Amino acid sequence: MDLDEIKAQLDRLFAGRPNRPTREQAAGLREALVGFKVGIGELREALARSERELEAARRDMADYERRGRLALEINDAETSRIAEEYTTKARERVDLLERKVLVQRDEVTMAEREYDATMARYQAASRGIPFQEESAADPLAEGPPPMNEALLDHRAKEAAVEAQLALLKKKFEERK
């Protein structure tokens, strides 16, 4: 599941039913958090692969430049010309991979911010605090409404049980 699918899932979770019971929200958010974790892991792996490709491309470019210099020193025009062609191609590849790595780093950062925002929503929902659309960026920015600690603990336990039940139901449905 990629990040766009997770965001679409979140939109469906909250679309048209903002007053949905917080236990249902918490279960859906927990599932989205798992999806985010997997997606962020995949993004990080792709970034690491791109960084390795970039490192290899830089080594190749340095090798081609060195071979071109050596060919010039021994007055080998043909080898020098070929080395220059390869150096040019390698430089273009390095430029492309540098841009790719920058974009992937930005994507990881954005995904981590989305994860943090979803985690804040989940924490609020698991405490029994309903999701408010106007506080979507940071549902705990103003702090939770004043509540009895025992009630918060009870709602948190209830939400955990509901989330576990939803997970078990999902696993049971997958086995059918």
Number of folded domains that form the chain:
1
Q: Cα-flanking dihedrals φ and ψ of residue 74, to 5°?
A: -100, 10
**Short-list 112, 88, 94, 77, CA closest to 6:** 112
**pLDDT recorded at residue 145:** 44
* CA 55 to chain CA centroid, nearest Å: 23
Is 138 among the domain residues? Answer: yes
Is 41 among the domain residues? Answer: yes
Looking at residues 133-148, what average pLDDT do you find? 45
Given a contact cutoff of 8 angstroms between Cβ atoms, the answer to whether 17 and 154 are in contact is no
- The residue range of the domain holding 84 is 20-171
**Residues of the chain above pLDDT 90, percent:** 23
Residue type at position 90: A
Q: Does the pTM exceed 0.75? A: no
Is 15 among the domain residues? Answer: no
Residue-wise pLDDT for 38-52, tens only, equals 888 888 999 999 999
Is 58 among the domain residues? Answer: yes
Residue-wise pLDDT for 95-133, tens only, equals 999 999 999 999 889 888 888 888 888 787 777 766 554
